[in-house]
Structure 1
């Protein structure tokens, strides 16, 4: 049995909750970590939405925070329906279980195609857009054998290695992670391939809004999802400073296995993969290298307590904002250098709830930066 196939867990959102979740994550300065903290503190997205203006004001915002309206969220839900897509919440059974484990997992993802692929254990395959013939063949071989072993193959729909991996796993199942909205796939020449994926055993997913045209800064976010969905990442032909290396390093940060295919030192497309091997990636010269390393993970329980709403909580009604003295102490403790929240709590000797709520206020006012690993810094 492949890794992570223990089953689906979670609680389905109501239509009203899904609308509120979509409004909250589409509002200004609300990222995945802020979303989670708001739900944890206020108990529901509706209560959090009501609190946003006051939180932002107390955090020192110079203008009113933009809150996504009911109409905007409804239009996006209607767009999803027109395109045959759905929104899956992080607490729902169809949310990818491995993705749920990562720091900053998106609260909602749009998905189109065979939704059961999202909960099937996955191996990611990424690499050069300008792939060699042998590199594309090797990626396809890994993808086919992974499919026979019960894994879906996750990649980014890019040219080259991504395309080879997706095509070789069309029958077994493949997940295409998009940098733009579900309705804005990139590159255009892979539109037909995307149709084959979503019309068969595969799935397309994105955390971006419908209608969102992908920009260069959106691709690292896409790479983060590839790394998060997958139990291991196979890198086939990657130049130095390539997006595939970003995916590999994110995967390592998430505790995933990283596999690298060695190549000629004379081929610039292999400089990145050879560098990964020097850093400790698993040498990969055939599918068995990948499958044997992933096999022990079949004993792991991928269940992680999801974000769920607790509508009976009175947190919003009992909301007591930090006083000015406490807020000033916390702001003074922050700097442009990222620090752990626990360090702030120890340094200030203030209650954890006061620190977390003040950070929420600063975040919603646009005065806080959040970093990987749960670190925060003050924005100047």
Structure 2
């Protein structure tokens, strides 16, 4: 099985570009999708930063947008360096190839540990925090066999199944995707495990700033990282309402394989996995069920990445014309509080795609737009 690391592709950011990227993604109302659209419109992160105040004003923001300062970005870079971490940009050689493929991939990942783990084919393993002894034993067995076959195992550093999967692959390579900053692991009881991962053959990654305490709404973003990095995700035990099922759903959305371990219908921890099997997940009772299915996918060239192509040297870009007030009003009238496909908006309004995307950026940066999966958008109800 070829290792991704042997065929890494991409262009490294300059120090100046990396600082500008960090400033842009840390500014208010700039998420991964907005970041990509800004770069596409303005060519460079620095040009996008300079455009933010005017874009936000045109979008109807009642107050000036907060833009991360150069000193803030420099401090975060320094904090990362002191912690032995670095920031990997989307499109750089060390960025996980499968994650690069998805819509809304994080423009920057904070990473600590062995960077070659990020470019090795990965299997995600997730499951219940209150896992059974048999569940943890089975997760460890699948993880161990995957590691021996050359895969890095990605999980979320949680109690239970995640912990078992990480511990089983400390010697072969594991990735811990984190909901908070790299210096704020959760749960605290796994701080020692995180150290073993980053000081050994593994890697810890996060899209959140250093010092960020994880909140409930941050864990789905962590689950998105797991689903995006992995070629497939194994769910060992999961209740009906669990983060593991969010990971499985995201994996299916990304075109990844979803595996589930059947369990007793009397055990609530198996209700979620049994439901996944009813929905078409691959029945998993042995490591071979997973490894045989993954083998055809473990080629670097299968992925057609969404690149953010910033020129190696910062240069002035020709900025697109701003939408007129009339065009902006037409666009807002076409939007609703329910998600609408952007292509449908273009067809409905008769506006050019460039005008629609720029007007949506204005609303987004003003905090008036919400972006959804599949390229859909909706208005945000003002309180």
Q: TM-score range by the shorter chain?
A: over 0.9
CA distance 1:267–1:348, shift in 2 (3 Å): same
CA distance 1:158–1:30, shift in 2 (3 Å): same
Question: Using the alignment, how far apart are the partners of 1:143 and 1:372 within structure 2?
Answer: 30
Structure 2 match to 1:372: 373
Question: Using the alignment, how far apart are the partners of 1:314 and 1:71 within structure 2?
Answer: 22
Alpha-carbon distance, 1:47 to partner? 0.2
Alpha-carbon distance, 1:310 to partner? 2.9
Alpha-carbon distance, 1:115 to partner? 0.5
Structure 2 match to 1:336: 337
Question: Using the alignment, how far apart are the partners of 2:306 and 2:285 within structure 1?
Answer: 37
1:133-186 superposed Cα distances (whole Å, 9 cap, x missing partner): 110000000001000111000000000000000000001000000100000001
Note the 1:272-311 alignment, pairs <5 A: 272-299=272-299, 301-310=302-311
1:59-97 superposed Cα distances (whole Å, 9 cap, x missing partner): 000000000000100110000001000000001000000
Structure 1 match to 2:167: 167
Gaps of 5+ in 1: none
Question: Using the alignment, how far apart are the partners of 2:285 and 2:378 within structure 1?
Answer: 42
1:349-376 superposed Cα distances (whole Å, 9 cap, x missing partner): 1111000000000000001000011110
1:15-59 superposed Cα distances (whole Å, 9 cap, x missing partner): 000000000000000000000000011000000000000000000
The answer as to 2:61 corresponding to 1:77 is: no
Q: Retained in 2: the 8 A contact 1:113–1:199?
A: yes
Runs of 4+ in structure 1 deviating by more than 3 angstroms, as ranges, are 2-6, 311-319
Question: Using the alignment, how far apart are the partners of 1:69 and 1:321 within structure 2?
Answer: 25
CA distance 1:196–1:318, shift in 2 (3 Å): closer
Is the partner of 1:217 in helix, strand or coil? helix
Alpha-carbon distance, 1:379 to partner? 1.1
Is the partner of 2:302 in helix, strand or coil? coil
Question: Using the alignment, how far apart are the partners of 1:26 and 1:297 within structure 2?
Answer: 34
Alpha-carbon distance, 1:308 to partner? 1.8
Q: Retained in 2: the 8 A contact 1:4–1:301?
A: no
Structure 2 match to 1:260: 260
Q: CA RMSD in A?
A: 1.4
Q: Retained in 2: the 8 A contact 1:43–1:311?
A: no
Gaps of 5+ in 2: none
1:208-256 superposed Cα distances (whole Å, 9 cap, x missing partner): 0000000111001100100000000000010111110010001000000
Alpha-carbon distance, 1:305 to partner? 4.5
Q: Retained in 1: the 8 A contact 2:13–2:312?
A: no
CA distance 1:5–1:316, shift in 2 (3 Å): closer
Question: Using the alignment, how far apart are the partners of 2:115 and 2:313 within structure 1?
Answer: 31
CA distance 1:223–1:318, shift in 2 (3 Å): closer
Alpha-carbon distance, 1:103 to partner? 1.2
Question: Using the alignment, how far apart are the partners of 1:180 and 1:256 within structure 2?
Answer: 25
Question: TM-score, normalised to structure 1's length?
Answer: 0.98
Q: Retained in 2: the 8 A contact 1:2–1:150?
A: no
Q: Retained in 2: the 8 A contact 1:97–1:303?
A: no
Question: TM-score, normalised to structure 2's length?
Answer: 0.97
Is the partner of 1:159 in helix, strand or coil? coil
Structure 2 match to 1:176: 176
